[in-house]
Chain A
Amino acid sequence: MTLWVAVLLACALAYATKLAGHLVPARRLEGRRMRRVTGLLPVALLTSLVVVQTFGSPTGGFVVDARVVGLGAAVVALLLRAPFIVVVIVGAVVAAGLRAVGWA
């Protein structure tokens, strides 16, 4: 599958999901358990993405490098109620700074 096909397919599925919500009668999806699972789904996926993006190595397995410190700084920024863009920049700047001075 070329990257373009993947991009367009993922976009089509994203739109279909959104549209389905508007078309399905509201009472249809009331199952409490299903709602609970789908409500928690973003938490599970995003948590896993944090782990993979922080520790994943291109050769498989985990490594500890400047990204961990960048993530720690980002969490501190979140604790200080910084807006999204600031959190992202703090993570990048800290990791880039550590690499610039030769650490990891």
Chain B
Amino acid sequence: MADEGADRSPQRLEPAARAAVLRQAWSVGLATGAYGISFGALGVASGLDAWQTCALSALMFTGGSQFAFVGVVGAGGTGIAAIATATLLGIRNGLYGLQVSEFLHDRGWRRAVAAQLTIDESTAVGIAQPSRRGSQVGFWHTGIAVYLFWNLFTLAGAILGNQLGDPRRWGLDAAAAAAFVALLWPRLHSRDAAATAAVAVVLTVAVAPWAPAGIPVLVAALAAVLVGLSPRRAPSAPPASGGSS
């Protein structure tokens, strides 16, 4: 950690600034971790046992992929389909890793741990800090806080879910749909995203009656390719050096 702070960022954070980062990190951690309870309950409702559900939170540790995995399994999809869907959803974590490693500069076991903690929330809090040191503190504390609460609440949800009996009676199938739409919601801000969602609906509806469970979601991934490779719409594309996205 000797090489940090080469640019205008101070080596140490002011105590007040550090406290602000910590407050943000741990409140995001608690808020995000709390919905581990819905994942735990849905996991066992989908036919995983409590250990498998908890293993997903401890080892996979990326909410969208975890919900997708149990969703595909619960719908009767094959293991391959569940793995493929979860992995495709997790690709964004690889892109986060690119951004995070620009301010983290850790090596060895610290980098191995940082990789596991690289998710939506830790990346977002890390990037949001004005100084490099603040980014590091924000990333680590958010990652650790989410990991802690997410796993605790998953266990609680799995135990609770096992007591519930028929998941439909408690609306847990609708809870899964609600979870997916809540994960989707903040990503729908651009025209590209709206177009992608529309194409994904069409593809899913077209394929679902013919394909085994789990396959329609994978076919719908093509929507991202179709929209992503289509020419950009003219008005919002300034020439050359623009590109703030």
A residues neighboring B (CB under 8 Å): 1-11, 13-15, 17-24, 26, 29, 33, 35-54, 56, 58, 60-62, 66-67, 70-71, 73-75, 78, 83-85, 87-97, 99-100
Contacts and interface: CB of A to CB of B under 8 A. Distances in A.
Contact of A67 (B116, B173, B196, B225): B173
A38 B91 contact: yes
Contacts of A18: 62, 90, 93-94, 96-97, 115-116, 118
Interface of B: 31-32, 34-35, 37-38, 47-48, 52, 55-56, 59-62, 64-65, 67-69, 71, 73, 75-76, 78-80, 82-83, 85-98, 100-102, 104, 111-112, 114-116, 118, 168-185, 187-188, 192-193, 196-197, 199-201, 203-205, 208-209, 213, 216-217, 219-225, 227-229
B197 A10 contact: no
Given A33-B229, A84-B35, A26 B192 contact: no
Contact of B96 (A6, A21, A56, A88): A21
Given A48-B204, A52-B71, A99-B171, A13 B83 contact: yes
Contact residues of A: prevailing secondary structure = helix
24 contacts: A11-B55, A11-B59, A13-B90, A18-B94, A22-B100, A36-B228, A40-B192, A41-B92, A44-B199, A45-B89, A47-B201, A48-B203, A48-B204, A50-B180, A52-B71, A53-B180, A58-B75, A60-B208, A60-B213, A74-B174, A85-B34, A85-B35, A95-B174, A99-B171
Given A42-B64, A96-B170, A50 B177 contact: yes
> 7 closest Cβ contacts across the A-B interface?
A21-B97, A91-B178, A70-B174, A6-B79, A95-B174, A37-B228, A48-B220
Given A14-B62, A22-B118, A43 B228 contact: no
Contacts of A75: 181
A19 B68 CA distance: 21
Contacts of A5: 79
Nearest to A66: B174
A7 B52 contact: yes
A46 B184 contact: yes
B67 to A, nearest CB: 8
Given A67-B173, A91-B174, A4 B75 contact: no
A51 B91 CA distance: 21
A26 B201 contact: no
Given A10-B83, A18-B93, A70-B175, 16 more contacts: A10-B87, A20-B94, A41-B221, A42-B64, A43-B193, A46-B89, A48-B223, A56-B208, A73-B178, A74-B182, A75-B181, A78-B181, A85-B34, A85-B37, A87-B179, A92-B178
Given A15-B115, A45-B68, A52 B208 contact: yes
Contacts of B171: 66, 70, 91-97, 99
